[in-house]
Structure 1
Amino acid sequence: MSAEIAFSRYAHDRIGDRRTDEAWLAEVWADPATRVLVIAGTRIGLVDGAIPWVSPAEAPEGDRVLLGEHDGVVHFAVIADGGLAGEDWMPLRGLVLVLTEDDAPLVVHAMGIAEWLWATRHCIRCGGRYEIQHLGHVLRCTDCGREEFPRTDPAVIMVVTDGEHPEDRCLLGRHPSWPPGRYSTLAGFVEPGESIEQAVRREVHEESGITVGEVEYFGSQPWPLPRSLMIGCLGKASSTEISVDGEEIEDARWFTRQQMKDEAEAGTLVLPGGISISRSLIEHWYGGALPGSW
């Protein structure tokens, strides 16, 4: 199954073999057409409500990260000192609503590296200091020589359906901290020694009390908050009685397509934003676009 997912649709060429090509790097950094995303620590400042890309000459001092090539243009990020950020600069979670599908893969790549560099300061073997290599994609301990690479935590996110119901239904839940009316697909991290299918069944049962049988892969989406890969799945329920855990999930409901459409149009049901894999999963089940988002 192939899915159209916003964060994964317009992938850039990461040109990883260029990360140690000093002559080429100097050449593209001198090119005013090269685009640079400025990150202060782990925050970005918007300009007129959009993600700003500047020329290398306009970029501040900082750690350079080669993101890759997109539409024939080389893109970098410069991770500057966090003190550069103004009060209105935002972490990635605050930027999701302004990300375009064109920008999203580059920004997610850049912020994933920024979050990793911010959180990974000392060697886990000897406690020594790391130095950045390969244009932000490798850390090397200055004491023992150990190399550290960016890590990704797998997480499952799933739309669960009740195909035995005459109208077919899908299961959505809401976190206790969300505003009224906001519902989304269930999700959770894959535990050590667990398969994707096992994680889907466990998370759904823990959060909603629903038992899931068949599980199919849908698609995936990077989600560096701080370093996840969301693995989208379709699950078929083999039970229908809901019993929420009350902690991660405050409420869960079965929705028919008509209920979902009517409540989304009325604004009493608020669904995830269009750039999220959750939205893609829901609209895949629904069979088309739905109104409203958060």
Structure 2
Amino acid sequence: MSATDLPDSFVSARTLTPAADAVWFVFDGHRIVLTDDRTLPTGPALPMVDVVPLGTLDGTPVFAAGLDGDVPAGFASNPLRANFGTLSDAQMGVAGYAAQLVDFIRTHRYCGRCATPLLESGHERSRTCPKCGLTVYPRVAPVAMVLIRRGEGAATELLLARGPQFAPGMYSALAGFVEPSETLEQAAHREVREEVGVTITGLTYALSQPWPFPHSLMMGFDALYAGGKIVPQPGEIEDARWFPVTELPLVPPPFSIARQLIDLAVERALNGAVDGSGTPPDMA
């Protein structure tokens, strides 16, 4: 489990009734509201709208909602992703789920076909138009992420790139949204060509990760360099280059799928082949 997955201790339920001991994931736009002690609020302590019963976490009922009005005294809001290390991994997993459901209600109040107010479907996480029957679901945008490598053993190099929005000095794997009627594999090859101008071979699925910032599902691939000169895509890629696995730059934090792909590649290079669990055979 990663810090963006729903934890095993979470049980979904759509018909809970708020109780005094309930834990709330409340959002001020895309910012989560916590107490001044950086904990999740309990009970009806905040003015709320768009209440969504989520289920139970370790047996405790949990709900999501939007904040109704300004953040009151005793509470503060900050970007959800700023709370890795503050909230537990399990709480962060549920928080990402909660954020997407609240945003779904906020952005799907009316039918996109006939403008009639939408209603909760009741039997699933969806909203239905009572007039024309259109049913809509929480948005999930698939993203193909590719880590490209060349060389063998300790001489392995990784092709890493940075976008203009990255933290200073940080490089990561390549990634892009999947387009309509496109397979994940096609998206991976296209994004690599567009972003850095090279071609790849040996594309292999590695792992996936929900990424609720705001509503992506990241599909991670490993690939081998096939050919071509690195040509960064203007406006998208600020810099891209080969880095030896023993001299990597600043890379994304451990909770990200990009870091997991990089760590697996380094493990493979320095300690041999890696199986599907990420464990080298001689270390199993």
TM range (shorter): 0.7 to 0.9
SS across alignment from 1:102: helix
Determine if the alignment matches structure 1 residue 139 to structure 2 residue 127.
Answer: yes
- 1:80-229 alignment runs, 5 A limit: 80-81=67-68, 83-85=69-71, 89-96=77-84, 98-134=86-122, 137-163=125-151, 167-229=155-217
Larger helix fraction of residues = 1
Runs of 4 or more above 6 Å deviation: none
Residue 258 of structure 2 aligns with an amino acid whose one-letter code is S
Q: Is the 8 A contact 2:53 2:62 kept in 1?
A: yes
SS across alignment from 2:90: coil
The CA distance in 2 between the partners of 1:139 and 1:127, in whole Å, is 13
Determine if the alignment matches structure 1 residue 33 to structure 2 residue 13.
Answer: no
1 or 2 for the larger relative contact order (CA 8 Å, sep ≥6)? 1
Give, in angstroms, the shift of residue 194 of structure 1: 1.3
Larger strand fraction of residues = 2
Equivalent of 1:279 in 251, 259, 277: 259
Residue 8 of structure 1 aligns with an amino acid whose one-letter code is D
Q: Is the 8 A contact 1:5 1:280 kept in 2?
A: no
The CA distance in 1 between the partners of 2:102 and 2:244, in whole Å, is 41
- 1:255-266 alignment runs, 5 A limit: 255-260=243-248
Give, in angstroms, the shift of residue 239 of structure 1: 1.6
Residue 180 of structure 2 aligns with an amino acid whose one-letter code is P
Change (3 A) 1:287 1:9: farther
Change (3 A) 1:285 1:168: same
- 1:5-44 alignment runs, 5 A limit: 5-8=2-5, 10-15=7-12, 18-19=13-14, 21=15, 25-26=16-17, 29-30=18-19, 32-44=20-32
Q: Is the 8 A contact 1:5 1:219 kept in 2?
A: no
Task: Specify every segment of 5 or more residues in structure 1 that has no aligned partner in the other structure, as ranges.
Answer: 261-268, 289-294
The CA distance in 1 between the partners of 2:58 and 2:141, in whole Å, is 29
% identical aligned pairs: 34
Q: CA RMSD in A?
A: 2.7
For residues 11-52 of structure 1, the C-alpha deviation after alignment (integer angstroms, 9 at most, x for no partner) is 45443xx42x4xxx23xx23x4332222234321333573x3
For residues 122-161 of structure 1, the C-alpha deviation after alignment (integer angstroms, 9 at most, x for no partner) is 2111122223454993223244343222121111112111
Give, in angstroms, the shift of residue 189 of structure 1: 0.5
Give, in angstroms, the shift of residue 5 of structure 1: 3.7
Q: Is the 8 A contact 1:67 1:77 kept in 2?
A: yes
Residue 242 of structure 2 aligns with an amino acid whose one-letter code is W
The answer for the alignment partner of 1:60 in structure 2 is 47
Q: Is the 8 A contact 1:162 1:240 kept in 2?
A: no
Change (3 A) 1:114 1:180: same
Change (3 A) 1:108 1:117: same
Alignment length (residue pairs): 266
Residue 41 of structure 2 aligns with an amino acid whose one-letter code is V
The CA distance in 1 between the partners of 2:24 and 2:76, in whole Å, is 20
The CA distance in 1 between the partners of 2:9 and 2:54, in whole Å, is 8
Q: Is the 8 A contact 2:34 2:40 kept in 1?
A: no
